[in-house]
Amino acid sequence: MDREVDPGPVFEASGLDYTNNEEYDLPLPLESVAALFEHAAQVTNNQTMGLSMGRDFHFESSSLLIVAMLAAPSVGSGLTFLNQYDHYIDSGITTHYQSKGDTVVFSADLIDMGSSDMGQLNEYLNGFLVQTLLTATRTTVPLIRVTFRHKQPATTQALRDFFNCKLEFDAQHNSIYLPASFLNQPFLTSNKLMFRILANAMETYFSMGNKTSGFVGKVCRQIMLEDPIGNLDSKSIARLMGLSTRTLRRRLSEEGFTFNEAKNLARERRAKYLLVNSRASLTEIAFDLGYSELSAFSRAFRSWVGESPQAYRENLRALLD
């Protein structure tokens, strides 16, 4: 639309419904999003459409995650916040944030590469991240290196002009490399009160009373959001996360889990959360978790924790009082 191109046919060619002005209930398949970027690049004759979208992002329509990030005090706190909560919001993306001596690396990768060309999306992810830092600091971002997972495109000049550093393609991750000293650069968009409120809100909404990590943690969180847990299968969870069933099972296997084990882990965590943070009866919790009888839930809970649900509830509440 910024380039005066009717978006309707572009969405239709990508298999997406442009007339749906409401937010989608489920994540869009990455293949469809990748196709949308590719079609948009063709009709606008812009082979760096992904970079253009990241660079020209309309921050006035940012998600709550980005609003909170921009309210952070500094580059370091903003990146930490983004890494902590992005996987809750963008289930098709996994992030990594690590320090390597005097250099810090922030990576954002699409979970399921599939068979489609993800080059435009990769360039969008890196471009958006750098533009966000530029917007928040109002200063040049001292990039050391930027890497992309896709093969080197025919034209790289626009990428080189924007990032102004060494570029690498066909890499293991989409990453930006920054000097550690830049983490102390203040955000001019900082709003301490807003950041504290939004950070607390996200912690309350997403943590479910537990800290989880890794892909199995993401699967558990998705399972815990569904009701009842017992009716879920790997196909439905994969669809909710925008993945193929095969990719879901493979990623779990890489961390030593089967889907049933992940579902039982999610049941355990949801049970603990409900026992401590709700007034639901044991029978109601059992039904919520997909058990037809309280006795079956009690046996399962005892195998997880080593004590009955009632004892767990009483002991934890006593500690919290």
pLDDT in tens, 160-174: 999 999 999 999 899
Which tokens hold the place of 172? 């293991």
**Within this chain, do residues 240 and 169 fall inside the same structural domain, yes or no?**
no
Which amino acid makes up residue 294? L
> Could you give the residue ranges of the DSSP H alpha helices within 188-308?
192-207, 214-224, 234-240, 245-254, 259-277, 282-288, 294-305
* Predicted pLDDT at 59: 78
Q: Are 24 and 65 in contact (CB under 8 A)?
A: no
**Within this chain, do residues 61 and 180 fall inside the same structural domain, yes or no?**
yes
Give the bridge partners for 176, in sequence order. Answer: 106, 146
**Within this chain, do residues 107 and 236 fall inside the same structural domain, yes or no?**
no
How many structural domains comprise the chain?
A: 2
* Residue 139, domain member (yes or no): yes
**Within this chain, do residues 182 and 104 fall inside the same structural domain, yes or no?**
yes
**Within this chain, do residues 244 and 181 fall inside the same structural domain, yes or no?**
no
Question: Cα torsion at 255, 256, 258, 261 (round to 10°)?
Answer: -100
**Within this chain, do residues 81 and 175 fall inside the same structural domain, yes or no?**
yes
Which tokens hold the place of 307? 């004590």
Read off the pTM. Answer: 0.62
CATH number reported for the structural domain that contains residue 245 in this entry: 1.10.10.60
* Predicted pLDDT at 303: 94
* Predicted pLDDT at 204: 67
- pLDDT tens string 55-107: 888 777 778 889 999 999 999 999 999 988 886 676 567 788 888 889 999 99
Q: What is the DSSP letter of 2?
A: T
**Within this chain, do residues 117 and 231 fall inside the same structural domain, yes or no?**
no
DSSP structure string for 36-55: HHHHHHHHTT-TTHHHHHHH
User: What mean pLDDT do residues 5-20 have?
Assistant: 79
Band of residue 24 on the pLDDT scale cut at 50, 70, 90: very low
- pLDDT tens string 240-292: 888 889 999 999 998 899 999 999 998 898 888 778 767 788 998 898 888 98
Mean pLDDT of the chain: 84
Pairing type for strands 93-100 and 166-168 reads unpaired
* Residue span of the structural domain in which 285 resides: 208-320
